[in-house]
């Protein structure tokens, strides 16, 4: 076996780049490249490409033929944008529009028993996991109806019954937490995986490597997904990272690079990663060593966010407006799905326009409902501190005025 030096990389017709991890350089014979714009022969059940589903009009457009609800997500983020500007949403608000393909494609490829954990840019991930629009808007506006009773805010959405573990404000903290979720899945012998989402900004954090090391050592079914939207807050990726090829940082952990603006590519990648993480996919058949096959895998999703880092960032001081509108014209995930649906006669223009109207109305109704819902009671200040309170005392700002015994 003679080692090869160059990176093995292919580029498909529609620009999808697939790269195998450096570990494959050690072998002279390499497998055919893995592609995520259409299913590999192993993954395809009946020989037809994925993006040509059966032409049955009885299936509904929203939900069945369009994985998830991609039209809903950007509309929700735009509504959040206006609510923030009218000061109904306070503090931080990090918007996800432009990156919807990731949330939708991932959901389409996995189940609700697979866990997801992400950063503060969590609105769409929450909706993808089955969160209600009203709960999301109520939480953003600090109402009792919110998914965290108004006590979390934009950065702290959770939905434990759908295995969505938040919603974390500290950059990179969710990475070891997500590996811990994978640990629990392995410990309890569940056949599920954990998707640990982080950004290109968090990709330089030490705790990522600490968690990755342990995940690889202990064979945890963790899939680390870097949502590379090319800007860590206002800093373009080439500025903070010596090596911006994040998927190559895994060393013994294989890495895949996926076009994160293509919802179908994302879906395929996530399905593949899940199977690999559970049963050791083809990548590891190549290694030919007798070590325990590694389950952990790193995926880099090449994506883009149209808004700034948060609502206090205009998003135009570190990139040009032409760049943003350029990406929107060429790589917009919703446009891509729309074109696919139209070109394959799965939907007509009118049907799509109707869906858009429906979505707009849904969002407006949810916002109206959330605006009407009440703020939390003052007593809520002291709830949920502990599960088992054991007579603990808690105090308000004036402890002689406001003293509570947690029951």
Partner 1 sequence: MWGILRRSAVDGGGFSASSLRRTRFALVSARSYAAGSKEMTVRDALNSAIDEEMSADPKVFVMGEEVGQYQGAYKITKGLLEKYGPERVYDTPITEAGFTGIGVGAAYAGLKPVVEFMTFNFSMQAIDHIINSAAKSNYMSAGQINVPIVFRGPNGAAAGVGAQHSQCYAAWYASVPGLKVLAPYSAEDARGLLKAAIRDPDPVVFLENELLYGESFPISEEALDSSFCLPIGKAKIEREGKDVTITTFSKMVGFVLKAAEKLAEEGISAEVINLRSIRPLDRATINASVRKTSRLVTVEEGFPQHGVCAEICASVVEESFSYLDAPVERIAGADVPMPYAANLERLALPQVEDIVRAAKRACYRSK
Residues of the shown chain interacting with partner 1 in the complex, contacts defined by CB under 8 A: 115, 117, 147-149, 151-152, 156, 158-160, 165-170, 173, 175-185, 187-188, 206-207, 209-211, 213-214, 217-218, 383-388, 390-394, 399-400
Rounded to the nearest whole angstrom, what is the least distance from the CB of residue 198 to partner 1 in the complex?
Answer: 12
Rounded least distance, CB 320 to partner 1, Å? 36
Strand partners, 18: 10
CB-based contacts of 399: which residues, under 8 Å, 6+ apart? none
Cβ proximity to partner 1, 339 vs 403, nearer residue? 403
Q: Which residue, 292 or 316, is less far from partner 1 as judged by CB?
A: 292
> How far apart are the C-alpha atoms of 79 and 75, rounded to whole Å?
6
Q: What residue ranges in 53-137 does DSSP mark as E strands? A: 62-63, 66-67, 115-117
Shortest reach from residue 185's CB to partner 1, in Å:
7
What's 382's DSSP letter?
A: G
Choice between 351 and 393, CB closer to partner 1: 393
Nearest Cα neighbor of 150 from 90, 77, 87, 74 is 90
Q: How far is the CB of 402 from partner 1 (least distance, A)?
A: 14
For residue 274, give the H/E element and its range: helix 263-279
> What is each CA distance from 95 to 92, 119, 260, 308, 336, in whole angstroms?
10, 12, 16, 8, 20
Q: How many CB atoms lie within 10 A of CB 232?
A: 20
What is the rounded CA–CA span in Å between residue 215 and residue 207?
A: 12
For partner 1, the closer CB: 70 or 250: 250
User: How far apart are CB 337 and partner 1 at their closest, in Å?
Assistant: 32
Angle in degrees, 0-180, between the axes of helices 333-343 and 349-372, rounded to the nearest 10 = 140
Residue 302 parent element (H or E) = strand 297-302
Cα–Cα distance for residue pair 103/227, rounded to 1 Å? 10
Which residues lie across from 235 on neighbouring strands?
Answer: 232
Of 19 and 154, which has the nearer Cβ to partner 1? 154
At its nearest, how many Å lie between partner 1 and the CB of residue 316? 31
Check residue 200 and report its DSSP letter: T
CB count within 10 Å of CB 182 equals 29
Nearest residue (CB) to partner 1, 120 versus 304: 120
40 vs 383, beta carbon nearer partner 1: 383
Tell me how far, at minimum, the Cβ of 292 lies from partner 1, in Å: 13
Q: Which residues pair with 232 in a beta bridge?
A: 235
Which is nearer to partner 1, 214 or 278 (by Cβ)?
214
CB of 149 to partner 1, least distance (A): 4
């Amino acid at each position: 076996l003679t080692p090869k030096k160059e990176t093995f990389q292919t580029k498909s017709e529609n620009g999808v780049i697939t790269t195998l991890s450096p570990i494959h350089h050690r072998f002279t014979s390499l497998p055919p490249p893995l592609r995520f714009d259409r299913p590999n022969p192993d993954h395809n059940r009946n020989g037809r490409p994925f993006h040509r589903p059966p032409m049955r009009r009885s299936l509904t457009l929203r939900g069945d033929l369009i994985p998830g609800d991609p039209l809903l997500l950007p509309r929700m983020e735009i509504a959040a944008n206006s609510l923030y500007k009218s000061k109904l949403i306070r503090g931080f608000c990090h918007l996800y529009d432009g990156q919807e393909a990731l949330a939708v494609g991932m959901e389409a490829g996995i189940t609700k028993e697979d866990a997801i954990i992400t950063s503060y840019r969590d609105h769409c991930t929450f909706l993808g996991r089955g969160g209600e629009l009203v709960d999301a808007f109520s939480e953003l506006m600090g109402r009792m109806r919110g998914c965290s009773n108004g006590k979390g805010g934009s950065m702290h959405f959770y939905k434990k019954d759908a295995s969505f573990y938040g919603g974390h404000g500290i950059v990179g903290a969710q990475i070891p937490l997500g590996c811990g979720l994978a640990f629990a899945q392995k410990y309890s012998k569940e056949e599920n995986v954990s998707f640990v989402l982080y950004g290109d900004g968090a990709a330089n954090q030490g705790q990522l490597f600490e968690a990755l090391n342990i995940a690889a050592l202990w064979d945890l079914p963790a899939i680390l997904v870097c949502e590379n939207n090319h800007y860590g807050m206002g800093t373009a990726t080439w500025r903070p990272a010596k090596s911006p090829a994040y998927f190559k940082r895994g060393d013994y952990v294989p890495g895949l690079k996926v076009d994160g603006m293509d919802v179908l590519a994302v879906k395929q990648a996530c399905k593949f990663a899940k199977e690999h993480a559970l049963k050791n996919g083809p990548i590891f058949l190549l290694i030919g060593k007798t070590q325990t096959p590694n389950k952990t895998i790193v995926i880099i999703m090449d994506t883009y966010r149209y808004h700034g880092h948060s609502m206090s960032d205009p998003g135009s001081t570190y990139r040009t407006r032409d760049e943003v509108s350029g990406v929107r014209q060429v790589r917009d995930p919703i446009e891509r799905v729309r074109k696919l649906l139209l070109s394959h006669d799965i939907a007509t223009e009118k049907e799509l326009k109707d869906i858009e109207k429906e979505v707009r109305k849904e969002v407006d109704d949810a916002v109206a409902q959330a605006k009407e819902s009440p703020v939390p009671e003052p007593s809520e200040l002291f709830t949920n501190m502990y599960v088992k309170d054991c007579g603990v005392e808690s105090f308000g700002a004036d402890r002689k005025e406001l003293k509570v015994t947690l029951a």
